[in-house]
């Protein structure tokens, strides 16, 4: 028999939250994601995500089924539009770099699939196999990127919308190895979406800078040449070191990030070694 939160006895908080940097990120310990977590634990994890923008877990020995079950507690799962999922688990995308490859999937600063009308709320990335050294991921806080802009720049950006495309040369280059074997859409597929340059988070109400180096090519109503000087300034500004944190992976590590106020960049510094990650993406909403 199920019980509502009101009628159920309070659940003791069995995990701890330790910030990993001044800007964003927290490591969650004392929790086993293979367990059926109670409603209170899920609510507390959701709040930790809102507070810290990306949360990390260590030593999680979970099956694909449990990975999916955990993700569903936070929202609807959506499939990545360009690459096939795992055999038998189409909602789990393998993020792989093999020993002979020199390009890593998504290996540049970006927010996930900004070229969709409804970009994802977040992703839950699980490390299955990692190199002996290297392969860390950087995350950046787009609330801070917005908050630290001048009043004049905020006023300039307020009415602007960014045009985001899936086929920028730099983004296409990071997908080329996976598209050779696991493409879901034709190679010439182009996805495009226009979103506010400054978006308001639907849960926290905070403003975040919402352009990214991988996909934003111009401002709506302007050409690329006209847009480039401001975009290039914003791309440099939003990844200032004091806005970032860095996560070092081990098998069983998980990063769960809120895609709306963050960007991330997997570092490509492990040539000659294999790295295998499994990613689940959660549905979002149209940025406003």
Clarify whether 195 is annotated catalytic: no
**Rounded Cα gap, residues 215 and 190, in angstroms:** 11
Clarify whether 215 is annotated catalytic: no
**Rounded Cα gap, residues 226 and 210, in angstroms:** 18
- Selected catalytic residue, list 215, 260, 275, 279: 279
Q: Are 199 and 210 in contact (CB under 8 A)?
A: yes
- Selected catalytic residue, list 91, 112, 175, 195: 112
- Selected catalytic residue, list 110, 178, 195, 215: 110
Clarify whether 110 is annotated catalytic: yes
- Selected catalytic residue, list 67, 218, 264, 275: 264
Clarify whether 218 is annotated catalytic: no
Active site residues: 110, 112, 264, 279
């Amino acid at each position: 028999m199920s019980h509502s939160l009101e009628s159920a006895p309070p659940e003791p908080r069995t995990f701890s939250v330790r910030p990993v940097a001044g800007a964003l990120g927290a490591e969650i310990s004392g929790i086993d994601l293979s367990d059926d977590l109670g409603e209170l634990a899920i609510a507390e994890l959701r709040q930790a995500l809102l507070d810290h923008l990306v949360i990390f877990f260590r030593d999680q020995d979970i099956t694909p089924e449990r990975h999916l079950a955990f993700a569903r507690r936070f929202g609807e799962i959506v499939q990545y539009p360009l690459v096939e999922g795992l055999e038998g688990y189409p909602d789990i995308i393998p993020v792989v770099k093999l020993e002979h490859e020199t390009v890593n999937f998504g290996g540049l600063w970006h927010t996930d699939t900004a070229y969709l009308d409804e970009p994802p709320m977040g992703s839950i990335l699980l490390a299955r196999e990692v190199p002996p050294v290297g392969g860390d991921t950087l995350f950046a806080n787009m609330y801070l990127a917005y908050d630290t802009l001048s009043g004049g720049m905020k006023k300039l950006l307020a009415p602007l919308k960014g045009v985001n495309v899936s086929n920028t040369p730099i983004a296409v280059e990071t997908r080329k190895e996976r598209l050779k074997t696991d493409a879901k859409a034709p190679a010439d597929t182009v996805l495009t979406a226009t979103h506010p340059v400054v978006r308001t988070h639907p849960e926290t109400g905070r403003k975040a800078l919402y352009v990214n180096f991988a996909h934003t090519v111009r401002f709506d109503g302007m050409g690329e040449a006209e847009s480039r000087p401001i975009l290039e300034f914003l791309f440099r500004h939003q990844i200032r070191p004091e806005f970032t944190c860095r996560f070092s992976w081990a098998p069983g590590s998980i990063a769960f990030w809120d895609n709306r106020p963050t960007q991330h960049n997997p570092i490509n510094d492990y040539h000659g070694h294999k790295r295998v990650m499994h990613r689940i993406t959660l549905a979002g909403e149209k940025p406003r």
